[in-house]
Structure 1
Amino acid sequence: MSRMPMLCPDTACEQGAPTLAQIRKQLGMLPNFFAGLANHGASLNGYLAFEEQLSENSRLSPAQREMISLAVANANGCHYCVSGHTLSAKHVGVDAEAARLAQQGKAVEPKDQAILDFAMDLLEQKGHLSDESLTAARTLGLDDATLVEITSWVGINNYSNWINNLIQPKIDFPEVPLI
């Protein structure tokens, strides 16, 4: 049972109601994350605007973005997000084993591993990375724009993990265990 109301277009505030209706229409369902986040309509809309800008202008592949999401969600103990992002990862070509590896901050491809290493270092160090860490990421082919983008994906995933950990919505995707 969630710790906050799961809102719908009929119960959300004036700012959140049209957004929830649009999500329901687009996805054919209203995921509980959005229903809980709608307890503050501006937060819902701000989250979606940030995510849209990052996605539309991404230097990372959809698979790389999902791997970051899985690694951050698992590190933050967000069962809801691990389950949701495992399903999303499958839709962009990440198989079940690669998704499990990503939860552990691991990848098969060297560039994907460099991305996950940087993302997890950011998370663990709360952004206070050493010059050596930046140099290592750059040496592995990650330019400054990509490093800022990875930081943005870590940040937005932290936010969604914290919201879900706070609200504890019912998982409305196939459940995937934390590792």
Structure 2
Amino acid sequence: MTATAERLGHLPAPVARLAASPHLLDGFLKVSGLFSATTLDPLAREVVILTIATRNGCEVCVAMHTAALRGLGADDALVDALREQRPVADERLEAVRAFTLEVVTTSGAVDDDALRAFLARGHTPQNALEVVLGIGAYTMSTLANRLTRAPLDEQLAPFAWHPHVPA
């Protein structure tokens, strides 16, 4: 927690809540660190994360990773599409978003066409497995944040998000 607080300048409430289980917090920090070191580029990693965060309805994660995308210089169209769970215009990043959802929807039993579509946009078989790593890391955090009812830190208020509830 100390390293996280030093890196961000504050201790995020979600991290403090995850610390109720030191094993969960340690596991998340290790796995998310491994995901950050994958061959997927930073924008592609954030697409995986925001796709999982919106799918799982984690308001805190969506706000945190909207801020991360903004820090990477992502344009409004990309951020808005991801937050609204819509396809994104960039075909390479859309392949990441669609593949992430396909992996989750099929519990990993992705058919050959879906894998070929992912690979056709410049991704590798290694990237496909790295998407699985990201899904695991951020499923862990989104579920834990929702379970602990982690509040949104005031620094993230400009990036607040609420899940769309169908009428």
Shift of the 95–135 alpha-carbon distance from structure 1 to 2, 3 Å rule, reads: closer
Match of 2:163 in 1: 178
Residue 83 of structure 1: how far off its partner (Å)? 1.1
8 Å CA contact 2:49, 2:135 repeated in 1: yes
TM-score under structure 2 normalisation? 0.87
- AA of the residue aligned to 2:2: A
Q: CA RMSD in A?
A: 1.5
Gap runs ≥5 in structure 1: 1-19
Secondary structure at the counterpart of residue 31 of structure 2:
helix
Shift of the 105–127 alpha-carbon distance from structure 1 to 2, 3 Å rule, reads: farther
Residue 105 of structure 1: how far off its partner (Å)? 4.7
Which protein, 1 or 2, shows the higher relative CO under an 8 Å CA cutoff with sep ≥ 6?
Answer: 2
Question: What is the distance in 1 between the residues matched to 2:35 and 2:86?
Answer: 21
Secondary structure at the counterpart of residue 89 of structure 1:
helix
Question: What is the distance in 2 between the residues matched to 1:95 and 1:141?
Answer: 21
Question: What is the distance in 2 between the residues matched to 1:142 and 1:105?
Answer: 21
Gap runs ≥5 in structure 2: none
Secondary structure at the counterpart of residue 64 of structure 1:
helix
Secondary structure at the counterpart of residue 73 of structure 2:
coil
Write out the 4+ residue segments of structure 1 that deviate beyond 4 Å after TM superposition: none
Tell me which of 4, 16, 19 is aligned to 1:35: 16
Secondary structure at the counterpart of residue 72 of structure 1:
helix
- AA of the residue aligned to 2:48: I
Q: Which of 159-168 and 92-101 deviates more? A: 92-101
8 Å CA contact 2:17, 2:150 repeated in 1: yes
TM-score under structure 1 normalisation? 0.82
Match of 2:36 in 1: 55
Residue 48 of structure 1: how far off its partner (Å)? 0.9
- AA of the residue aligned to 2:58: C
Shift of the 152–105 alpha-carbon distance from structure 1 to 2, 3 Å rule, reads: farther
Match of 1:8 in 2: none
What's the % identity of the aligned pairs? Answer: 25
